Chain A
Amino acid sequence: MQPRKVLVVDDSKLMHKMFEVMLRQYALVYASDGRQALDRLREHQDIDLVLLDVNMPNMNGLEFLAQLKAGGGGDGMAIVIISTEGRDEDTVRGLEAGAAAYIKKPFHSEEILDVISRLPARSAA
């Protein structure tokens, strides 16, 4: 997959900087929680990849996915969960909620790039 625009959803400024350096070839927008992420999706219709943390204030990653699904959104985008929650049931819950892949923190940068490259190309919503 060659994403047009990537939404990074994480409450850590460190992770925002990390993705800014790691994914400098892509256009990025940022959100610090699920609510902001929903706003960003409304503002940027061309987002086709979401990198999503789970543990966040206000609205966590799984709640964001539920809201997105309830609103009928997310058809034209791939969602990758990147979380410190590393149990098998966390992975299953994330994938069942609609994520295309689940990556555990801490991660290697090549792991993220590899997962993005393997994602199937999505048609625009």
Chain B
Amino acid sequence: MSDRPPAPTASGLELVAELRSALDRAGELARVAELNLRELAARGGDAGGPSLATELERRLATAESDVKELASRLVDSEHQGGRLMNLYVATYQLHATLDPAEVQATIAEIAINLLGAEKFVLLLRKDDAPGCDIALVGGTSNDRRDRREAPEIDGLYGGEVYAGGDPVVDATLEDGVLRLGPTADSKALAAVPLRVQNEVVGALVLLKLLDHKPILRAEDRDLLDLLSAHAASALFAARLFATKDRKLRTLESLVKLARGE
């Protein structure tokens, strides 16, 4: 037998190479750890366990605080997204038709479904006389007779015409400023002016909210402003189209008559 060690095999050499590589990596990690500990020590504490734990706790607290702030911002963003979606859908639907009745129905749907109004009236200025037509009396009740008999929709809004009498509504019809109530002399929770090119052509008056929605919220103000700006123009365009369409049909009938068709 020879006392010389056996010749290294290829696999043995690979093993050694891997071992050296692992030792190099371990050495590098040890250097990084040493540097970190020295850095911590230089910041004030010693390089021992307690200060490291304190530093880690501080970082953990910061991370938790960041997570909470991000969660809060996410909720705010979702909420803001919801508000913008409401505004988009309301605007889209107001201008989605040229039928005056459908525009009025959309105004009612916005009042009920997005604002949570239980009772409301839509007033439109008369073209050739003082006062406003009561174009729409709205509510969530299925029975339309109930709506006009409701205590909030009595007297001033009980007929076909609003001749004035609620100081908040009258002021809004006069100057076109959105007003929130109620006040001592007005039941109106909101008087929303309907304007077309700075001319006040009517108002949406909210008289009662759903019981589970006690007050108008800050975000509802956006919707009220939107109604003020878009509802009147949508109604105006629809009425104009309906008038022109009616005239066109009359003229077509006359032409057919003249041709003897």
Tell whether, in the assembled complex, residue B89 and residue A108 are in contact, meaning their CB atoms are under 8 Å apart: no
Could you tell me which residues of chain A, from 49 to 80, have a CB within 8 Å of some CB in chain B?
A: 55, 60
Contact B112 A84 (CB under 8 A): yes
CB-CB under 8 A for A84 and B113, given A13-B106, A17-B93, A104-B212: yes
Per the bound structure, the CA–CA distance linking A123 and B213 in Å amounts to: 36
Write the A1-38 contact mask toward B (1 if CB under 8 angstroms, else 0): 00000000000111101100110000000000000000
- The CA-CA distance from A110 to B112 in the complex, in Å, is 19
Of all chain A residues, the one with the shortest Cβ separation from B219 is A108
Chain B residues within an 8 Å CB radius of A118:
none
Which chain B residues border A17 with CB–CB below 8 Å? 89, 92-93, 96
Size bracket of the B interface:
20 to 34
Q: Say yes or no for A120: interface residue by CB 8 A criterion.
A: no
Chain B 103-118: CB-based contact to A (< 8 A → 1; otherwise 0) = 0011001101111101
Whether B79 lies near A55 (C-beta < 8 A) is no
Interface of B is mostly: helix
- A13 near B112 (CB under 8 angstroms)? no
* Residue B181 lies at the interface, judged by CB distance under 8 Å to chain A: no
Which 4 A-B pairs give the minimum distances between C-beta atoms?
A86-B212, A109-B82, A14-B109, A106-B116
Restricting to B192-220, which residues have a CB under 8 Å from any CB of A? 210-213
Number of A-B pairs whose CB atoms are under 8 Å? 67
Residues of A within 8 A of B106 (CB): 13-14
Q: Which residues of B contact A (CB under 8 A)?
A: 75, 78-79, 81-82, 85-86, 88-90, 92-93, 96, 105-106, 109-110, 112-116, 118, 140, 142, 210-213
Determine if A18 and B85 form an interchain contact, defined as CB atoms under 8 angstroms apart: yes
Q: A109 to chain B: which residues have CB within 8 Å?
A: 78, 81-82, 85
Kindly state the separation between the CA atoms of A73 and B14 in the bound complex, as whole angstroms: 70
The CA of A15 and the CA of B90, in the complex, are separated in Å by 10
A106-B93 in contact (CB<8A): no
Q: A105 — which chain B residues lie within 8 A by C-beta?
A: 112-113, 116, 210
Min CB distance, B14 to chain A, in Å?
50
In the complex, the answer to whether B142 meets A12 with C-beta atoms within 8 Å is no
Contacts of B105 in A (CB 8 A): 13
CA distance A110 to B85 in the complex (A): 11
The distance in angstroms between the C-alpha atoms of A109 and B116, with both chains bound, is: 15
Please give, as numbers and ranges, the residues of chain A lying within 8 Å of B88 by CB-CB distance.
21
Contact A12 B79 (CB under 8 A): no
- Give every chain A residue within 8 A of B114 (Cβ-Cβ): 14, 106
Shortest Cβ distance from A33 into chain B, in angstroms? Answer: 12
Q: Give the chain B neighbours of A84 by CB distance below 8 A.
A: 112-113, 116, 118, 140, 210
Complex Cα distance, B78 from A17, in Å, reads 19
A86: chain B residues within 8 A (beta carbon): 210-213
